[in-house]
Amino acid sequence: MSGKEMKYIQEAFDSNWIAPLGFNVDEFEKEFANYIGTKGAVAVSSGTAAIHLALSLLEVKRGDTVFCSTLTFVASANPILYQGAEPVFIDSEPNSWNMSPVALKKAFEDADRKGKLPKAVIIVQLYGQSAKMDELQSICNAYQVPIIEDAAESLGSKYKGKFSGTFGEYGIFSFNGNKIITTSGGGMLVSNHQEALNKARFLATQARDPAIHYQHSKLGFNYRLSNVLAGIGRGQLEVLDERIRRKREIFQTYEKELKKFSCISFLKELKDSFSNRWLTTLTINENQAGVTVEEILKAFEKENIEARPIWKPLHLQPLFKNIPYYPHHKDVSISEKIFSTGICLPSGTSMTEVDQNRVINCIERLLCHSH
């Protein structure tokens, strides 16, 4: 926490507005939309809820398909199943680790041939790095299929000067405890369609019709953010730029100290993009390194350092067995390669220099020892 949250939380308590309504919620939405440059925003209970609302607004239903990045957390695709629709997973490309325009084009060509285009495409901006939005957008536009941009991990990142989350029909953010700013649990749906956002607010508050009694003609959800948590979000938003600066600094330190090892490759910023560096991620050439990803993670664990593999691609998850998948090239699955060789290093903004040096020393010991 930044210490700036308490004044907003106190306001919520003083006004006795605790529930998912109140001044903090309204202000958090406004401040957030102003920051990223969209016409509006709806504060909800999670990023997953925001994706679910976006799919509902696009009337995705049973029998529909939705294209989705495969290299991501399961929450990107679960809401497709909530709607009874079927995901089709699209591989990554090597530069951004995000959706491959080559694979997307192939998926669209097949869908077009079958006369069954997807209702939406969920493009994830992974680890703070923007996807190749120009290419992806032009493919989606050619088929007139809307984009939902899952920017849960990339708040404050930019592509060609424009903020992540503002490219699609709808953008989604998450304020889960591990994100760059947090409301403990929470999310945001953003868009330039004011009318759609009003509809999202309606759906997120149990779709209650304007009547004095409780009347409902549509299926709704209980997805609004509490006024207390929105207060935390407002305090966090004040330090967002500082957090991004710190995240980038952490990345630069890792890169500077570890670039002497040719077996390590960091996820580079795409040309014309700016990453919030939510997590510092890298891949290891295991043959060259003489150690495996698993051995590195085990060595970290011994030192009480928490590190993780990269997300396991969704097309490999038991939940999504037999779901269609389009690799980057016929025999090349980039996401699987990244998953098997990738590591997320500790990147918390509260890390000290001493903490970070412990991580770096641990890697150095392993790599020098193995040669």
Buried b / exposed e along 225-234 (16+ C-beta atoms within 10 A):
bbbbbbbbbb
Please state the length of the chain.
371
- Residue 179 known to be catalytic: yes
Single out the catalytic residue among 30, 179, 256, 321: 179
Using only C-alpha atoms, the chain has a radius of gyration, in whole angstroms, of: 21
Structure tokens of 18? 């605790």
Which residue(s) pair with 121 in the sheet? 67, 147
Residue 200 CA, chain-centre distance (Å), reads 20
HEC string of 25-77 equals HHHHHHHHHHHHCCCEEEEECCHHHHHHHHHHHCCCCCCCEEEEECCCCHHHC
Are the C-beta atoms of 130 and 98 separated by less than 8 Å? yes
Burial of 355 (0-12, 13-18, 19+ CB in 10 A): middle
For 332, list phi and psi in degrees, rounded to 5. -120, 110
The bridge status of strand 170-174 relative to strand 147-150 is: parallel
Which one, of 50, 98, 117, lies nearest residue 78 by Cα?
Answer: 50
Residue 130 CA, chain-centre distance (Å), reads 10
Give, as one character, the DSSP assignment of residue 122: E
CB count within 10 Å of CB 205 equals 15
Q: Which residues are catalytic?
A: 179
